[in-house]
Amino acid sequence: MRSEILTSVEKLEHSMTEALIRLCRIPAISPHNGGTGEDAKILELAKLIDELGLKNISLKAEHVDDDKAPSGRRPSLFLEYPGKNPRRLCILSHIDIVPEGDKSSWTLDPFKPEIRGSRIYGRGVSDNGMCLVASLFALKALQDAGIEPEYTVLLAFVADEEMGSHYGLEQLIERDIFRLDDLVVVPDSGNDAGDFIEVAEKAVWRLKFTVTGKQVHAAYPNKGVNACRAANMLAYEVDEALHKEFTQRNELFDVPFSTFEPTRRVANVPAINIVPGREVMEFDCRVLPEVNLDGAFDVVKKVCADVERKTGAKIEIEVDRSDATEPTRADSEVCRLLTRSVKSVLGIEPYAGGIGGGTFAAFFRKKGIPAVVWAQECEGVAHQPDEYTEISYLVNNAKVFALMMAGE
């Protein structure tokens, strides 16, 4: 049966490639990040599913209200197919993507994907289009081969992962969609070898600082309060204080220590001769489970008070926090099933470890549902100009998912 499944997947390579290009022509960018959301892409995905002619499936759309979306909602789509066992294998991919960034850094139109040699290039082809398509065509391959899945299959195509899942899984997981005995796979992180299974994530801690001074002409800085200078001082001192205070290491994780990264500054004044009266900047922090986030926030507040005293500026802090959860056990059923399938397809023994955080898996672990994160994917290309995926990885991921569905 195993060879039949693998052969069935291989026959679908061209169709998978076409489907990935087709879906990635449609931007699905959060309205909170300059886009219009996932509606158009969900409609195209539903059309693709209908064209595949899958039998005995049930499709259900779920929506989360979002006033910033043109439709007023953020859609997700769930496909279920019964297997021999009512216990479900759930594979969750996300439909949304990040913006293209600096378009001049691309060698192609980000939303006109191209095949170049063994690769497909375009925004979203790796993150997370490849595994979305692979999960769907894994089920198609089983049906084409006439093989009934061992597990009932639930494929979830979910909104808003890239911006924190507030309009996606964060709310959907509170609905009657998932079960405590579900086997959950999140194909949203991995490496070229395909030998890494993520079973743990750091806390995700995002800090937004609004620094308010007084805007004046640059020729008379003494009459104002330079918010840019205060923000520069704040960024340096927060960075220094957090790294000095929290030095713990945990070798389960790659990277094995907490990271506190200043990442974004919002545009301030339109001319060079204006001293800005307002600056907005953000930190993205990935924090080991053993670090007390309340204690870390106390460190940040102390630094803010010191910078206010030194500069005369006022500082407000907004926090987006997702605490670390208990890891999924490496000997859990879903981890063993995935390990077996990866060995069959890639001929390697995968190992378990932790990452910086930010996948769907954390939501499941908080609910006590073991979840693993795995994919064979090109390292370092997500969110970058000229994002790409290897076509062979698309096929290999579909093979692994198909074997898992079949209990192989």
The residue annotated as part of the active site, out of 161, 162, 198, 390, is 161
Q: Give yes or no: 379 in active site.
A: no
β-pairing, 114-116 vs 274-275, is: unpaired
Rg of the chain taking only CA atoms, in angstroms: 23
CB 152 within 8 A of CB 89: yes
Helices 130-145 + 13-24 axis angle, to 10: 140
Compute the distance between CA of residue 376 and CA of residue 353 in angstroms, rounded to an integer.
15
Residue 114, token pair as written in the block: 């191209």
Residue 153, token pair as written in the block: 């299959």
Helices 130-145 + 391-405 axis angle, to 10: 50
* Sign of the Cα pseudo-torsion (350, 351, 357, 360, in order): positive
Q: Give yes or no: 161 in active site.
A: yes
Nearest to 256 by CA among 325, 329, 355: 355
Show Cβ contacts of residue 74 under 8 Å, excluding neighbours closer than 6 positions: 37, 38, 63, 64, 65, 66, 159, 160, 167, 168
The amino acid at 367: K
Helices 2-10 + 130-145 axis angle, to 10: 120
CB 296 within 8 A of CB 205: yes
What's the maximum distance between 2 C-alpha atoms anywhere in the chain? 79
The residue annotated as part of the active site, out of 96, 144, 188, 390, is 96
Residue 210, token pair as written in the block: 């609004």
**Angle subtended at Cα 99 by Cα 281 and Cα 59, rounded to the nearest 5 degrees:** 120
DSSP state of 313: -
Nearest to 323 by CA among 190, 174, 206: 206
Catalytic residue IDs = 96, 161
